Amino acid sequence: MTTVFAALQEYGLMTVLAGVVVYILCRGEFFIHGFRNRSLRERLGRFRSSQISRLLKRLRLHGIIKKIGRTYKYYLTELGRHVAVAGLTLKNLFLVPEFAAAALAH
């Protein structure tokens, strides 16, 4: 377990957080009404508002999410949906089987 923790530290907390947020956004709850910093914090739990804000800024700069004018809400762009689906597909096809095989080997 310590090697997984070390890998996560090396990979970067914000990158891991971005993956978790994209997974949360793909669940479909936010497709119609969008999402806010607070709604993500409620689902993530231990992260501060400033950490979520920095992540939202990064996702917005990359074109993954778009801010709804004069509100605090965001939504996934078309590019964001494609990136999220591709990431989840890669995770399910490659990472999950690899982790399962590694767990069985130990």
**21-57, pLDDT tens digit by residue?**
888 888 888 988 999 999 999 998 888 999 899 999 9
Residue for token digits 């689902």? 43
* Neighbouring residues of 16: CB distance < 8 A, sequence distance ≥ 6: 8
The length of the chain in residues reads 106
Residue 60 burial by CB count (10 A; 0-12/13-18/19+): exposed, middle or buried?
middle
**72-81, pLDDT tens digit by residue?**
999 999 999 9
Return the pLDDT at 10. Answer: 58
**36-46, pLDDT tens digit by residue?**
999 999 998 88
Return the pLDDT at 87. Answer: 84
The predicted model scores a pTM of 0.77
Q: How far apart are CA 103 and CA 94, in angstroms?
A: 14
* Neighbouring residues of 84: CB distance < 8 A, sequence distance ≥ 6: 22, 23, 25, 26, 64, 76
> Does position 4 have pLDDT exceeding 80, yes or no?
no
Return the pLDDT at 6. Answer: 55
How many Cβ atoms are within 10 Å of 14's Cβ, its own excluded?
12
